[in-house]
Amino acid sequence: MAIYHLDGKNFDEVTGSGRCVVDFWATWCGPCRMQAPILDEVDQAVDGRAKVCKVDVDAEPELAARFGVMSIPTLVYFQDGKITGKAVGVQSRSQVLAALGE
Amino acid sequence: MTDIIIIGGGPAGISAALTAMHRGKSALIISSAPEDSPLWRAEHIDNYPGVPGATGRELLTALTEHARRSGAGFMRGHALSVMPIGENFGVSVGPDFVEGRAVIIASGLARGKEFPGEREFMGHGVSCCATCDGMLYRGRRVAVIGLSADAPEEAEYLRSIGCLVEYFGPGRAKRYEIRGSERADTLVADGVEYPVDCVFVLRPGVAPDSLLPGLETEGGRIKTGPDMSTSVPGVFAAGDCTGAPYQVAKAAGEGNIAALAASKYIENKSKEETRDGDISS
């Protein structure tokens, strides 16, 4: 599966169905850059059972504001469009998988 | 990819790097400003063999120079988090991140107690990383509590991107408290309230248990085995961060043991990988 890159246009459509994790990140943030390969691993592990998504807060400040992102990386979890969890700071592969119910 | 990433450039970290290089491993030392080290301010160290009467500053300078000449890599910055990535480890340092096959934490004593509200609001209006979160507060009021040597530079960075910075250097206030409801909204410094959108608490180092989830600590000290291994396989610890005595000689010794164990860990892992490769082929 591929990582979904979300913006104001496709955010609700992609997160509206199934299980998702959305990573709010930016290029200037070291912990965010470290989160990226971990999410690649998660994407491999879930094998389509959940969507792994990213929002660049620099390009999408409205989405960051909408979800109260005050520190990055912030990971927000969704089930059929409803928020089921939120975590601030780099998360390990096992932490993300557990939050996705894997 | 570095073989061994060493967090901390004090006697434990330097000793670990030297031993790692002797074992044919590459070593990268991540270190904040030397002025952050309590050793830097030590008037003299009389019980470290070979350098009678050396000042802390002289000793630290000599140690750093030794490691540099041996070919160890150096990176200036604050290690914010350590995380397993596949079979290796990632360490984030300010706006960068580096990868290594093993990690030695030699970060010294976590100095200074957390302020009331600091942990509670971390990520909710409290940040420990100006480069990560500064951009989210452009045009907004932020307070910076500068406890590390390079904190003034980080505050200047925040100003340069448009944050309205209220700076608290050493001595400006004795007592701090961070208050808020859903998120932090006020910094109280010696009883004076400052309404802010974010408080940046810039410390010389991150407490070991927030550096790496699952790392077992006891009273703030990292728990280690006789080979300086920690509760996380592939992660070792040495020096003051493992507990008393807080002495240069003890730190150097532990750095040596940790590097030997880390080298062995990497060698065993390589053997396993070769074996697995043979089976699959």
What values do phi and psi take at B45, rounded to 5?
-120, 115
Determine whether the interchain pair B81/A34 forms a contact, defined as Cβ–Cβ distance below 8 Å: yes
Q: Scanning the structure block, which residue is given the tokens 């397993």?
A: B84
Closest partner residue to B83 (CB to CB) among A29, A64, A90 is: A90
Closest partner residue to B84 (CB to CB) among A69, A71, A92 is: A92
With an 8 Å Cβ cutoff, the interface of chain B facing chain A consists of 80-81, 83-86, 90-97, 122-125, 127, 129, 131-133, 135-136, 183, 198, 213
At B167, which helix (H) or strand (E)? Answer: strand B164-168
Closest partner residue to A72 (CB to CB) among B90, B97, B132 is: B132
Q: Residue type for B47, please?
A: N
pLDDT at B181 over 90: yes
Q: Scanning the structure block, which residue is given the tokens 């940046």?
A: B200
For the question of an ipTM over 0.90, the answer is no
- Partners of residue A41 in chain B, C-beta under 8 Å: 85-86
Angle at which helices B56-69 and B11-22 cross, to 10°: 20
Determine whether the interchain pair B97/A30 forms a contact, defined as Cβ–Cβ distance below 8 Å: yes
Beta-carbon-side half-sphere exposure of residue A100 (alpha carbons within 13 Å): 26
Rounded Cα distance, B252 and B157, in Å:
36
Rounded Cα distance, B221 and B278, in Å:
41
Determine whether the interchain pair B123/A74 forms a contact, defined as Cβ–Cβ distance below 8 Å: yes
- Partners of residue A69 in chain B, C-beta under 8 Å: 136
What values do phi and psi take at A91, rounded to 5?
-115, 140
When pLDDT is cut at 50, 70 and 90, the band that residue B192 belongs to is: very high
Digit-coded pLDDT (tens) for B208-220: 888 998 899 998 8
Least confident of A13-27, B40-54, B231-245, B258-272: B40-54
Output the pLDDT for position B210.
84
Digit-coded pLDDT (tens) for B112-150: 788 999 999 998 999 999 988 999 999 999 999 999 988
pLDDT at B251 over 50: yes
Digit-coded pLDDT (tens) for B97-107: 999 999 999 99
Determine whether the interchain pair A32/B123 forms a contact, defined as Cβ–Cβ distance below 8 Å: no
pLDDT at B279 over 80: no
Least confident of A79-93, B5-19, B96-110, B263-277: B263-277
Q: Which of A55, A70, A93, A94 to mutate to test the interface with B (most CBs of B within 10 A)?
A: A70
For A8, other C-beta atoms within 10 Å of its C-beta total: 13
pTM for the full model?
A: 0.90
- Partners of residue A76 in chain B, C-beta under 8 Å: none
When pLDDT is cut at 50, 70 and 90, the band that residue B281 belongs to is: very low
* Residue of chain A with shortest Cα separation from B85: A38
Determine whether the interchain pair A88/B96 forms a contact, defined as Cβ–Cβ distance below 8 Å: no
The 8 Å CB, 24+ separation contacts for B137-140 are B137/B163, B137/B197, B137/B198, B138/B162, B138/B163, B139/B163, B139/B164, B140/B164, B140/B197, B140/B198
Rounded Cα distance, B115 and B184, in Å:
13
Alpha carbon of B115 to those of A64, B11, B120, B158: distances in Å? 27, 29, 10, 22
At B20, which helix (H) or strand (E)? Answer: helix B11-22
Q: Which of B82, B83, B87 to mutate to test the interface with A (most CBs of A within 10 A)?
A: B83
Nearest Cα residue to B99 out of B213, B233, B2:
B2
Output the pLDDT for position B132.
87
Q: Residue type for B88, please?
A: N
Determine whether the interchain pair B92/A31 forms a contact, defined as Cβ–Cβ distance below 8 Å: yes
* Residue of chain A with shortest Cα separation from B183: A70
In the predicted model, what is the mean pLDDT of residues B191-195?
Answer: 97
- Partners of residue A95 in chain B, C-beta under 8 Å: 213
- Report the Cα A15 to chain-centroid distance in Å: 10
Determine whether the interchain pair B92/A30 forms a contact, defined as Cβ–Cβ distance below 8 Å: yes
Determine whether the interchain pair B132/A88 forms a contact, defined as Cβ–Cβ distance below 8 Å: no
Residues of A serving a catalytic function are: 29, 32
Nearest Cα residue to B138 out of B167, B169, B160:
B160
The 8 Å CB, 24+ separation contacts for A35-39 are A35/A73, A35/A75, A35/A90, A35/A91, A37/B85, A37/B86, A37/B90, A38/A90, A38/A91, A38/A92, A38/A93, A38/A96, A38/B83, A38/B85, A38/B90, A39/A3, A39/A96
* Residue of chain B with shortest Cα separation from A74: B123
DSSP summary character for residue B183: S
Render the burial of A83-101: b for 16+ CB within 10 Å, e for the rest: eeebbbbbbbbebbbebbe
Contact pairs from chain A to chain B, CB under 8 Å: 86
DSSP summary character for residue B223: P
Rounded Cα distance, B226 and A43, in Å:
38
What values do phi and psi take at A84, rounded to 5?
-110, -10
